[in-house]
Amino acid sequence: MSFTVAIDGPAAAGKGTIARALADHFGFAYLDTGLLYRAVGRKVLDADQPLTDTVFALKMAQGLHESDLLRDDLRNMETATAASAVAAMGDVRKALVSFQKSFAKRDGGAVLDGRDIGTVICPDADVKLFVTASEDVRAERRYKELSAKGDDTSFDAVLSALKARDAQDAKRDVAPMVQADDAVLIDTSNMSIADALAAAVDVVNKTYKSA
Ligand code: DC
């Protein structure tokens, strides 16, 4: 039986942490859909192609392999910015739809997080969450994460990259980041990870128990 949890929200809101923990808790599979766009963006950067080259980005998306998602350079700011650029291309998005849709429908349940999961990829998801937090809180979390990994950056640089990326993701024509009408909002600004997870588990339990 399939059971789909769709989680959307802006950058560094805690979606990934909640999604992974929910998947563990319920024994569901987990897909971080941002990694797909990050892997495509990374390939464009590696090939020194401009981030406006739709034809090249599409070729990279069509040739994407699961091993491309395992690279350790997908989480830096340069890759995030490239991901947001290729994610604004309708053809790139189309090339990645069927993989995401079939992952969502797999037997045993699935959690997917991204920007358009509850609106475009899984409009009929069993549970939809929109996870957010204030810009300052999100930038602080991402800054700490990047610094811990040895990235030489500043809070201000992280905040302005995050704002630019959110604006691009929310304002694009295709599949913009937006809260689905039937998504439950979780604002993690003043929540611990444990509190945020408990809130998410509560929401899922309401539907899962009756599924
Ligand atoms: O979730 P993330 O920060 O790793 O995503 C990186 C970029 O990929 C993000 O800025 C927008 C894009 N993205 C998207 O457009 N749709 C998704 N479902 C997931 C990510």
Residue 211 pLDDT? 66
pTM over 0.85: yes
Nearest protein CA to atom 18 of ligand 1, as residue = 114
Report how far residue 5's alpha carbon sits from residue 186's, in angstroms, rounded to the nearest whole number: 14
End-to-end CA distance of the chain: 10
How many Cβ atoms from other residues are within 10 Å of residue 95's Cβ? 20
Report how far residue 75's alpha carbon sits from residue 152's, in angstroms, rounded to the nearest whole number: 14
Where in the sequence is the domain holding 145, given as residue range(s)? Answer: 4-208
Residue 209 pLDDT? 74
Distance (Å) from CA 80 to ligand 1 centroid: 8
Report how far residue 50's alpha carbon sits from residue 35's, in angstroms, rounded to the nearest whole number: 20
Residue 130 pLDDT? 98
How many domains are there within the chain? 1
Q: Report the CATH number that the domain containing residue 97 is assigned in CATH.
A: 3.40.50.300
- Encoded amino acid at 181, one letter: D
Give me the sheet containing 4-8, strands edge to edge: 29-32, 110-114, 4-8, 127-132, 184-187
pLDDT digits (tens, 9 = 90+) for 32-52: 999 999 999 999 999 999 999
- Weakly modelled stretches of the chain, pLDDT under 50: none
Residue 141 CB–ligand 1 contact under 6 Å:
no
